[in-house]
Structures are given as structure tokens and as C-alpha cells.
């Protein structure tokens, strides 16, 4: 009888990629993947620890898994397992805890686990000692129309609020040839768009011998593969050099969409965050990007309520963001992470104030998202079809990272189609399929 397993994943695209890889290995080993709500013999929870809320969500999923399947085994991995295995080992529901490195041979560790063991097994090594980027290669992407490729892991920036370097270790890159091979494999499977992900993709290649760079990787993907669309995951502002802007502006395949963590627009706050640019540097960067690619989609990350953030400092952030041609904001109230310098900084800001400031920025983001989407009405766009639906109500994603609904029969997920954008209504952009 095949064994039923469900996988729950929290957090970033890198965690999503690693879960997709675990799912693939399980299927190859004869397991049946079932949705979380269905009965399972094994539940894997791939956790995130970027905020206190994700820790709580992880614990909640673990408890629900056991309630749903009293006899199942619960395996917990991911960043929460890496930085705080003891907290998870204290949960009676948990059978096995694996670190982010041990995640790569989870199947072997799982199958060596005694099925009747009542005690929890903790298998978490020191991630700081890991130097090579063991990244699973994925053969397929069952549920997706766009594929992710993890090109890098870890981070050496140590922003003062961030727990990720302690969960993911030092920055390490996947060999260029391995990435190219992965792109070719996905193109052969009709994936027209690939998203390059990692924890700190701007640092890609610096650790390779000889050292390489994200820019040269992008150029090689464009010249050595038949990929039609390439999207960049989140990239740090001080790693967006003029050559990279030029490459995006002149590329046949790189999507005109950047997701950039700004975090704060106030230079004193940025200094306390251990981020190495000023509000003015950021303004000049955005001006250079927009000069080269006028209709680019710009999404920014922002943290509100960082320790010591005064009203004046927050207003500097608001004023900077209001002055920039952004298309969306991802706003996070500061979340104190034990073990980070910011957790012990003086003048911690009440969560209520952090949330109020976040609400102001989110309102601005909603307004800008609508304005940016409306600017495409009347234009022709190319979309990757997200899911194919029987009832001909389709949805696709543009190169500028905008979802567009349209009518179209006989269309498959992953297809590339041309649309004329007819209007923007309560459901967003609506287009008409062009022949």
C-alpha cells in the first residue's frame, strides 16, 4: 500500500522550491502526495522563522496535522527547525526535526527512523559550517505554470533585524553549468517562464571558484538556452549595478520587474538596520532604473516600527516612497527575532504603532497598484497562463507581473498568449485574446 504524505510549506520561494523537490523525491519513492486536509501517514512541515507570526503558524500546522491524523508521523524542517529545534522538540506532536542541510537527505533520515519511536529525533547540524550549495534539481513542477530555480542559498549581510543568516548559513551559489542545465530541462518541459530565486541572489557567484556574477549568469541563460521569459527574485538595492540595469533594459527575455528590499527610507534607520545605502542613494537608483526602463514594475519591501523609529524617521520613509514610481509595496511591521542585534536594541516600538505605520504604506501600495495596472489598459501584453480552467475564464501573468483575466477555450496552463488589455475593474485587469 503506498504511503500517503502531505507537505505544508511556509515562507519564501526558496522554501517553496525545496518543498517541491521533497515532493518529487517522495513521488519517485512511491509515496502518494495528498492535500493537508486528507488523511496522511506522514506530514512534512517546511517551516519559516522570518517573523514571530511564522513561528506561530508553523506550530499551529504541526498541531492540526496531528489532530487530523493521530497515527501519522510529523517531520519538521526549514528555518524554524534550524534556529530553534528545542522549541519544536517540546511539541509532543513532532517525530523528527531536520535542519536546512539535513533537509536534502530527508528521505534517508526518514526511512531510518523507527516507526514505533515515541521520542522525537533531532537532526540539525551547524549551518555555519556548510560551504557548498547543495540544491536539489527539479524534474517537474506539478502545479505550476512558471518554474522556480534556486541559484543560491544563505546570506552574509547580517541586517540587524534578520534571522535568515542564522537559519540559512553563508552565501553559496549553485554552479553556473548546473543552473543552465536546469533551465534547459524546464524549457524542454514547456516552461516558458523561470524565476531565479535564492536568499541573496545579488551575491550569486561571488563564492564560486573562479568567482562569477548574477549578470554573467543572466547573459549565459539568454545566449545558451531557448528560455522565453526570465524573472528575478528579490534583489538587494546595492547589488543593482548600471550593467544589470542595462542588461534588463536590453534583454529579450528578462522581465521588466524588480522586487527590491528598501526596508526604510530614513538613513539613520538604515544605519541601525546595518544596511549600506541611504535614502538618497535609493532615490538615485530608482531614477536610473526608470530612466532605462520607463514602465518597469517596481515592488519594494518595507519594515515599519524598527527600534527607535521616530515619527520623523517614519515620515522620511513615507515621503521617499511617495516620491518614487513604485507599483507595489510589501510592508511588514517589525518582528523582534531573538538572537538578532535588533532584538536587544533600545526604544522598541509598540506593535500598535508599527501596524498603524504599516497601514499607511499599504494604503499607498493599493493606490499605486491600481494606477500601475490602469496604465496598461489599451496595450497589448503577453501572459503566461496560470491555471487552465474548463469554463474558459482564464488568468495569466504579464511580463510586468500583472495578472490579467480573459476568455479563452482550449488553453493550457503555461501557454504564452497575447492579449489586448480592455479594462480595469473590481477584479483587476481584463483582456481580450488576440489570434
Residues that bind ligand SF4 (CB under 6 A): 155, 157-159, 162, 164-165, 199-200, 236
Neighbours of 160 (CB within 10 A): 17
CB of 180 to ligand SF4, least distance (A): 25
Neighbours of 366 (CB within 10 A): 11
Using CA atoms, how far apart are residues 103 and 396, in angstroms rounded to an integer? 33
CB of 312 to ligand SF4, least distance (A): 24
Q: Which is nearer to ligand SF4, 43 or 155 (CB)?
A: 155
Could you tell me if 217 and 245 are in contact, meaning their C-beta atoms sit under 8 angstroms apart? no
102-124: b or e for each residue (b if 16 or more CB lie within 10 Å)?
A: bbbebeebbeeeeeeeeebbbbb
Using CA atoms, how far apart are residues 125 and 83, in angstroms rounded to an integer? 10
CB of 209 to ligand SF4, least distance (A): 22
Q: Which is nearer to ligand SF4, 172 or 400 (CB)?
A: 172
CB of 138 to ligand SF4, least distance (A): 22
Q: Which is nearer to ligand SF4, 120 or 159 (CB)?
A: 159
CB of 199 to ligand SF4, least distance (A): 5
Q: Which is nearer to ligand SF4, 12 or 72 (CB)?
A: 12
Nearest to 82 by CA among 122, 32, 115: 122
Q: Which is nearer to ligand SF4, 165 or 408 (CB)?
A: 165
CB of 12 to ligand SF4, least distance (A): 9
Q: Which is nearer to ligand SF4, 162 or 361 (CB)?
A: 162
42 - beta bridge partners?
5, 73
Ramachandran sector of residue 78 (left: φ over 0; alpha: ψ -120 to 50; beta: rest): left
CB of 338 to ligand SF4, least distance (A): 15
Using CA atoms, how far apart are residues 246 and 85, in angstroms rounded to an integer? 45
Q: Which is nearer to ligand SF4, 72 or 262 (CB)?
A: 262
Alpha helices (H) along 203-350: 214-224, 242-250, 267-272, 279-292, 311-323
Using CA atoms, how far apart are residues 189 and 304, in angstroms rounded to an integer? 42
Q: Which is nearer to ligand SF4, 260 or 404 (CB)?
A: 260
89 three-class SS: helix
Alpha helices (H) along 39-198: 52-68, 79-83, 85-89, 106-111, 164-168, 176-188
CB of 335 to ligand SF4, least distance (A): 12
Amino acid at each position: 500500500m503506498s504511503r500517503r504524505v502531505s507537505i505544508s510549506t511556509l515562507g519564501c520561494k526558496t522554501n517553496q522550491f525545496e518543498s517541491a523537490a521533497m515532493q518529487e523525491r517522495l513521488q519517485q519513492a512511491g509515496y502518494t502526495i495528498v492535500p493537508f486536509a486528507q488523511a496522511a501517514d506522514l506530514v512534512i512541515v517546511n517551516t519559516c522563522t522570518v517573523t514571530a507570526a511564522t513561528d506561530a503558524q508553523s506550530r499551529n500546522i504541526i498541531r492540526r496535522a496531528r489532530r487530523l491524523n493521530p497515527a501519522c508521523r510529523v517531520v519538521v524542517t526549514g528555518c524554524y527547525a534550524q534556529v530553534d529545534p528545542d522549541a519544536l522538540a517540546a511539541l509532543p506532536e513532532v517525530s523528527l526535526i531536520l535542519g536546512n542541510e539535513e533537509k536534502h537527505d530527508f528521505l534517508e533520515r526518514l526511512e531510518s527512523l523507527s516507526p514505533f519511536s515515541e521520542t522525537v529525533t533531532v537532526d540539525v547540524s551547524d549551518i555555519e559550517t556548510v560551504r557548498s550549495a547543495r540544491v536539489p534539481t527539479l524534474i517537474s513542477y506539478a502545479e505550476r505554470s512558471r518554474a522556480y530555480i534556486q541559484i543560491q542559498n544563505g546570506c552574509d549581510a547580517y541586517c540587524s533585524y534578520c534571522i535568515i543568516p542564522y537559519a540559512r548559513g553563508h552565501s553559496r551559489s549553485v554552479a553556473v553549468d548546473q543552473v543552465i542545465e536546469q533551465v534547459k530541462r524546464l524549457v524542454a518541459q514547456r516552461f516558458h517562464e523561470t524565476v531565479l530565486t535564492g536568499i541573496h541572489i545579488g551575491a550569486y557567484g561571488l563564492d564560486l571558484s573562479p568567482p562569477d556574477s548574477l549578470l554573467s549568469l543572466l547573459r549565459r541563460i539568454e545566449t545558451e538556452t531557448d528560455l522565453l521569459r526570465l524573472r528575478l527574485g528579490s534583489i538587494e538595492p546595492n547589488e543593482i549595478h548600471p550593467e544589470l540595469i542595462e542588461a534588463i533594459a536590453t534583454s529579450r527575455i528578462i522581465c521588466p520587474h524588480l522586487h527590491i528590499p528598501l526596508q526604510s527610507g530614513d538613513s539613520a534607520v538604515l544605519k541601525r538596520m546595518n544596511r549600506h545605502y541611504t535614502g538618497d542613494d535609493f532615490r538615485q537608483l530608482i531614477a536610473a532604473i526608470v530612466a532605462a526602463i520607463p514602465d518597469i514594475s517596481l515592488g519594494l519591501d518595507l519594515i515599519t516600527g524598527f527600534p527607535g523609529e521616530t515619527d520623523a524617521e517614519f515620515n522620511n520613509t513615507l515621503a521617499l516612497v511617495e516620491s518614487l514610481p513604485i507599483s507595489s509595496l510589501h510592508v511588514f511591521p517589525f518582528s523582534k527575532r531573538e538572537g538578532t542585534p535588533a532584538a536587544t536594541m533600545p526604544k522598541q516600538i509598540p506593535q500598535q504603532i508599527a501596524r498603524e505605520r504599516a497601514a499607511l504604506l499599504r494604503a499607498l501600495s493599493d493606490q499605486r497598484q491600481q494606477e500601475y495596472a490602469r496604465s496598461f489598459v489599451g496595450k497589448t501584453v503577453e501572459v503566461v497562463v496560470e491555471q487552465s480552467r474548463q469554463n474558459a475564464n482564464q488568468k495569466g501573468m504579464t511580463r510586468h507581473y500583472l495578472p490579467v483575466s480573459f476568455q479563452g477555450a482550449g488553453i493550457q496552463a503555461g501557454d504564452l498568449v497575447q492579449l489586448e488589455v480592455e479594462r480595469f475593474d473590481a477584479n483587476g485587469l481584463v483582456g481580450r485574446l488576440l489570434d
